[in-house]
Amino acid sequence: MTYANDRLHEEIAYVAYHFHWGLDAILDLEHQDRRRYTEQIASLVTRGAQEG
């Protein structure tokens, strides 16, 4: 199965924006690890917004 190019770019931008990681570091992550990071970031952002 191939991963949609647009989705990959969204994940890269999301992790880079929040963690300030470079492209190579993000691309070196396994797919599942990258998805886990995006989910954790989303959780932190949501929690932060709820806490004010």
Give Cβ neighbours of residue 26 (< 8 Å, ≥ 6 apart).
11, 12, 15, 16, 34
Backbone angles phi and psi of 43, in degrees to 5: -65, -45
Q: For residue 52, what pLDDT is reported?
A: 77
Domain boundaries, the chain: 13-51
Task: Say if residue 2's pLDDT is above 60.
Answer: yes
How far apart (Å, rounded) are the C-alpha atoms in residues 52 and 34? Answer: 27
Q: For residue 42, what pLDDT is reported?
A: 96
pLDDT tens column, 31-52: 999 999 999 999 999 998 999 7
Taking residue 35's Cβ as centre, other Cβ atoms within 10 Å add up to 14
